[in-house]
Chain A
């Protein structure tokens, strides 16, 4: 240690001789997060992608293959901070490299069955046919696939799949995808409009003007004109705040912007709950915990799964285990309080060497966040919101277009629907690739065939409106009103307990009323920061507004769906009802009144008639 310090001090001293230390870091930054032409208003993008996760960057790359087009990616953070980076398992696609007996048809069927028959089967066929090709393309782009002996990438089998068909990089499949795509974007000189919070999609009637965004660094409100836009802003797991495995940024911004211009929110009630998130903070403990033999124990030391799934016990499907845990907690057999209540996951029967060898990450996370050494004592866990199956309706899966002309959707913020009522492991990254690609091509072809029809004056006007909102919200004092985090915490309580793992009519109705009350409080809430420079307090204020709208849609969707299917579980309607609900919920937001209404659309069935879902 002493040696290290002296060596370090020596080098530091040498470096300090050349510069005045520390002072350098506070020189003015250049503001190159936004291309100059955007700031001066000298560019109309052909394709403007909102969101820099897997779907957004894949879409941008596809669009930019047409060199004559102007393509940009806008993100509220910087490009590689997305939810996609967190995906662990892999990306599915039938290639037959690891199992020659695998077929596209099998992938289609597994997906439909996994989705509890709420998937549009024509869309799933389109998806499965292209998923393999997209995996090869990623190889050519430099994705660091784990390899097998013959030199092909290796594919592994994920839960609910009948064949190994998920390609991956270690246990960081999504991270590798995002970085591969980002490097391609850099190499292809794609414009990034970074650190810009998209606030609204601006339209006059059916004419698209572009988007309104706030440059986080300066607080400037900008209208960015675009012929076509692709919404790829990810999911909405943060409506459950700490009870989600999603990043802080998964606040459904794009979905709300889309709803505000008339795109319906399809199947919002379909949220996937993973059974084993840490009670402390919702971070996921991998499915492999139970596969390796971890037991679920309640407060009284009972292995309670025997009541819910006597044969498969802990190895029952995600939804069954999540509901069992929620029931135990609800009936007073959990440990811990409030939103952090849970049950125990007990690893102590597994030899310590095996835990270190196969469950290294689970060990680390438990140790770090819960302060528990799982080789010695059990760790408290509870269900955690993991994925949003619902999203903006993709009206045409061949192009990625929504029902609003010029607006395209892709990734978790969209609903194709490929995942139906429950997504299977490693299908999300392949969805991101397939439909990112499709939407990129779709929007690009649209931009080639159409000229800009928008009105830049309308963009300027919308900016003025947001400027007022900013000034009003950020200068408001603390006068008995609630702060943004206080309203958010109230929202989580409503959503987790009344529209979470279990739902019923009475609770959902109450949730709806509570959300209405929160809307009112939101109107005069306390933000507490009026700086124009990187005002994250205002950003969180906007995000909370979006989360509240998403919550309304979830509750309306859940109220309307009087059945239990996949991720949606109604206590008062515990059975799947194919007679009345083999349908998608479409939640519209009325432009004038701001009220939500539900419509239905039949599920597309090609050759797979609904059957009971048994594993």
Chain B
């Protein structure tokens, strides 16, 4: 079977799409297809790769709009998944493109630096005798040590698409959670403060990163864990944390959200005041009525039970 690959080309400022036909073979990965094109059809097609066994992270690209590791994704599986013999291959999203499928990693490294990316070992540990850690404590962060820096998670990150300036890449949060959850570290607050300042609470919660991570690391989950940790460490004096707390209070007290006060509780009177025009617009179209009293959900007892059970389950999971 022949498969048509429509590849987004970009060379020295010129951008175009180019079609290539490859004959499907058993076990042919996207990377092998790209290599075959470069070697037999067009030596100018450019991409990066190294280990071809999904551990070095060099070859992630976007196929039909979704980030994949080219070396582990079989062409035949994609043909089946999208039910087509035409596939579109692009560079990863939310990266600057250098050429064809090659993207710029430097700004990403600069962002990793922001979170103070190393363990600050506790004072009882030393270079000569290493550290101590129980297997249970190791289990708390080991998943997050599996990040291969392939960039798949950020490719479809909607928050990054909107604005990269006030947020980090999902993999940076993964690294941060690795450090925060590592019992060897004496000051997890330092990493936490850094991620809060860098936009922890601005995550859209769209789960694209978790869906795309080829290592199953759940970056969105890491972001949630970091948020939880900010409460435990008392780093909750910010809009995001106050917003989460306001929702929690509303739900446990009344079982419904008090939309008109939510904003004030999160941002404070002054900032919320600046949103008055929006409030007026909402009132005009009948989406908010300041004269409404905040209703209590008749099922409030059940809701409280659910909250209580969820809290107990979370505690147990620790």
Binding site for B on A (CB under 8 A): 7-8, 11-12, 14-16, 18-19, 21-22, 24-30, 32-33, 77-83, 85-86, 133, 135-137, 139-142, 144-153, 169-170, 172, 175-176, 179, 183-184, 186-187, 192, 194, 217, 247-249, 280-281, 283-284, 365, 368-371, 483-485, 526-529, 531-537
Are B55 and A175 neighbours in the complex by a CB distance under 8 Å? yes
Stretch of B131-139, B237-245, B264-272, B289-297 on the interface side: B131-139
Are B46 and A536 neighbours in the complex by a CB distance under 8 Å? yes
A84 (CB) vs chain B CBs: closest residue: B56
Residue among B55, B133, B161 making CB contact with A85, cutoff 8 Å = B55
| Contacts A18-B163, A26-B97, A81-B57; A146 near B130 (Cβ below 8 A) | no
User: With the chains together, A586 CA to B263 CA distance in Å?
Assistant: 75
Are B26 and A248 neighbours in the complex by a CB distance under 8 Å? no
Residue among A30, A77, A139 making CB contact with B107, cutoff 8 Å = A30
Are A528 and B43 neighbours in the complex by a CB distance under 8 Å? yes
Are A371 and B130 neighbours in the complex by a CB distance under 8 Å? no
A152 (CB) vs chain B CBs: closest residue: B132
User: With the chains together, A82 CA to B100 CA distance in Å?
Assistant: 22
Question: A24 — which chain B residues lie within 8 A by C-beta?
Answer: 161
B88 CB → nearest A CB, Å? 12
39-64 of chain B: CB within 8 A of chain A: 39-40, 43-44, 46-53, 55-58
Asked if B104 CB lies within 8 Å of chain A CBs, one says yes
Are B106 and A368 neighbours in the complex by a CB distance under 8 Å? no
Are A536 and B56 neighbours in the complex by a CB distance under 8 Å? no
User: With the chains together, A82 CA to B141 CA distance in Å?
Assistant: 24
Interface of B is mostly: loop
Asked if B186 CB lies within 8 Å of chain A CBs, one says no
Are A183 and B112 neighbours in the complex by a CB distance under 8 Å? yes
Are A368 and B74 neighbours in the complex by a CB distance under 8 Å? yes
B123 CB → nearest A CB, Å? 12
User: With the chains together, A14 CA to B127 CA distance in Å?
Assistant: 50
The listed residue with most A CB atoms (<10 A of its CB), out of B29, B94, B97, B158, is B158
How would residues 14 to 48 of chain B score, 1 for a CB under 8 Å from any chain A CB and 0 otherwise? 01000000000011010010000011100110111
| Contacts A86-B55, A485-B39; A142 near B95 (Cβ below 8 A) | no
Question: B105 — which chain A residues lie within 8 A by C-beta?
Answer: 33, 78, 194
Question: A484 — which chain B residues lie within 8 A by C-beta?
Answer: 43
| Contacts A25-B91, A25-B94; A175 near B134 (Cβ below 8 A) | no
Other 16 A-B pairs with CB < 8 A, given A21-B161, A532-B12: A15-B161, A25-B91, A25-B95, A27-B96, A29-B97, A83-B50, A85-B56, A136-B129, A147-B134, A147-B137, A170-B142, A175-B55, A281-B27, A365-B53, A369-B27, A529-B46
Question: B104 — which chain A residues lie within 8 A by C-beta?
Answer: 29-30, 33
Residue among A144, A529, A534 making CB contact with B102, cutoff 8 Å = A534
Residue among A14, A22, A192, A527 making CB contact with B43, cutoff 8 Å = A527
User: With the chains together, A83 CA to B58 CA distance in Å?
Assistant: 12
User: With the chains together, A120 CA to B35 CA distance in Å?
Assistant: 41
For chains A and B in complex, what number of residue pairs have CB atoms within 8 angstroms?
221
A571 CB → nearest B CB, Å? 32
B157 CB → nearest A CB, Å? 9
Stretch of B113-121, B219-227, B253-261, B305-313 on the interface side: B113-121
Question: A142 — which chain B residues lie within 8 A by C-beta?
Answer: 118-119, 121, 179, 182, 184
Question: B39 — which chain A residues lie within 8 A by C-beta?
Answer: 483, 485
The listed residue with most B CB atoms (<10 A of its CB), out of A83, A147, A194, is A147
The listed residue with most A CB atoms (<10 A of its CB), out of B50, B109, B112, is B50
User: With the chains together, A44 CA to B44 CA distance in Å?
Assistant: 35
Are A25 and B93 neighbours in the complex by a CB distance under 8 Å? yes
Are B161 and A19 neighbours in the complex by a CB distance under 8 Å? yes
A-B contact pairs, 19 of them (CB 8 A): A15-B161, A28-B96, A32-B110, A82-B56, A83-B51, A137-B130, A144-B141, A175-B146, A176-B145, A183-B175, A280-B27, A283-B53, A369-B27, A370-B26, A370-B27, A528-B44, A533-B11, A534-B98, A534-B102
Are B135 and A149 neighbours in the complex by a CB distance under 8 Å? yes
B104 (CB) vs chain A CBs: closest residue: A29
Binding site for A on B (CB under 8 A): 10-12, 15, 26-27, 29, 32, 38-40, 43-44, 46-53, 55-58, 72, 74, 91, 93-100, 102, 104-107, 109-110, 112-113, 116-119, 121, 125-135, 137-138, 141-142, 145-149, 158-159, 161-163, 175, 178-179, 182, 184, 204, 206, 208
| Contacts A21-B161, A187-B113, A528-B43; A172 near B146 (Cβ below 8 A) | yes
Are A371 and B27 neighbours in the complex by a CB distance under 8 Å? yes
Are B142 and A144 neighbours in the complex by a CB distance under 8 Å? yes
Question: B96 — which chain A residues lie within 8 A by C-beta?
Answer: 25-30
Residue among B15, B50, B102, B141 making CB contact with A249, cutoff 8 Å = B50
Are B119 and A141 neighbours in the complex by a CB distance under 8 Å? yes
Residue among B26, B52, B179 making CB contact with A371, cutoff 8 Å = B26
Are A151 and B134 neighbours in the complex by a CB distance under 8 Å? yes
The listed residue with most B CB atoms (<10 A of its CB), out of A27, A32, A78, A535, is A78
Are B43 and A187 neighbours in the complex by a CB distance under 8 Å? no
5 smallest CB-CB distances across A and B, nearest first, come from A142-B119, A528-B43, A139-B130, A151-B132, A136-B130
The listed residue with most B CB atoms (<10 A of its CB), out of A139, A146, A172, A537, is A139
User: With the chains together, A301 CA to B229 CA distance in Å?
Assistant: 59
Question: B119 — which chain A residues lie within 8 A by C-beta?
Answer: 141-142
Are B58 and A8 neighbours in the complex by a CB distance under 8 Å? no
A94 CB → nearest B CB, Å? 14
B163 CB → nearest A CB, Å? 7
Question: B130 — which chain A residues lie within 8 A by C-beta?
Answer: 135-137, 139-140, 152-153
| Contacts A81-B58, A187-B117; A136 near B50 (Cβ below 8 A) | no
Residue among A8, A81, A83, A485 making CB contact with B206, cutoff 8 Å = A8
Question: B93 — which chain A residues lie within 8 A by C-beta?
Answer: 22, 25
Residue among B44, B127, B146 making CB contact with A531, cutoff 8 Å = B44
A56 CB → nearest B CB, Å? 15
Are A368 and B148 neighbours in the complex by a CB distance under 8 Å? no
B51 (CB) vs chain A CBs: closest residue: A247
B155 (CB) vs chain A CBs: closest residue: A25
User: With the chains together, A299 CA to B2 CA distance in Å?
Assistant: 31
Are A15 and B56 neighbours in the complex by a CB distance under 8 Å? no
Are B206 and A11 neighbours in the complex by a CB distance under 8 Å? yes
B128 CB → nearest A CB, Å? 6
The listed residue with most A CB atoms (<10 A of its CB), out of B39, B47, B129, is B39
User: With the chains together, A527 CA to B46 CA distance in Å?
Assistant: 13
Are B56 and A80 neighbours in the complex by a CB distance under 8 Å? yes
B113 (CB) vs chain A CBs: closest residue: A186
Residue among A21, A144, A248 making CB contact with B138, cutoff 8 Å = A144
A65 CB → nearest B CB, Å? 11
B52 CB → nearest A CB, Å? 7
Are B145 and A144 neighbours in the complex by a CB distance under 8 Å? yes
Are B148 and A187 neighbours in the complex by a CB distance under 8 Å? no
Are A146 and B26 neighbours in the complex by a CB distance under 8 Å? no
